[in-house]
Amino acid sequence: MGFPATPALTTDCVVFDPTGRVLLIRRAHEPFKGHYALPGGFVDVGETVEAGCRRELQEETGLSVGDLHLVGVYSDPSRDPRGHTASTVFLARLAAPADPVAGDDAAAAEWVENWRDERLAFDHAEILDDAETVLAAISQD
């Protein structure tokens, strides 16, 4: 007996720097080639979503982060034109400025101050709205 067909498991990472800018990549490939997106990707078999988040962040931006805070799970069947995905999204804060270096499938990796002015891939605008709420809550702790 095989496993049933299920959504692909992905993870995304919202990273804020000390000034409140968000780390975004510019996608090198379709779908959404040329659009800004959060660093992230598919979770490998045998990997936790947290480890996948850290790996994808490092592969796409060259950056590592400390604590991860859960933002939410995003599973709308239409969120990715390639097929049904379910993404577990985490938030991290950098204590000091850092320079990202694009790698893997990122054409660029950069800090963006006004992300609302940009065209974002997938459902990443919704995710960033939610992440700002989480950031405000954890900043009060």
**pTM of the complete model:** 0.95
- Is residue 137 helix, strand or coil? helix
Q: Where are the beta strands (DSSP E) in the chain?
A: 8-16, 22-27, 36-37, 40-42, 69-74, 85-93, 106-112
We find that the CATH architecture of domain 8-139 is Alpha-Beta Complex (3.90)
Q: pLDDT, tens digit, for every residue of 24-56?
A: 999 999 999 999 999 999 999 999 999 999 999
Other residues' Cβ atoms within 10 Å of the Cβ of residue 113: 10
Please tell me the predicted confidence (pLDDT) of residue 1: 64
Condensed to tens digits (0 to 9), the pLDDT of residues 72-121 reads: 999 999 999 999 999 999 999 999 999 999 998 899 999 999 999 999 99
Indicate the helix (H) or strand (E) that contains 58.
Answer: helix 49-61
Query: Using an 8 Å Cβ cutoff, are 128 and 72 in contact?
Result: no
Q: Is the peptide bond before 31 cis (omega within 30 degrees of 0)?
A: yes
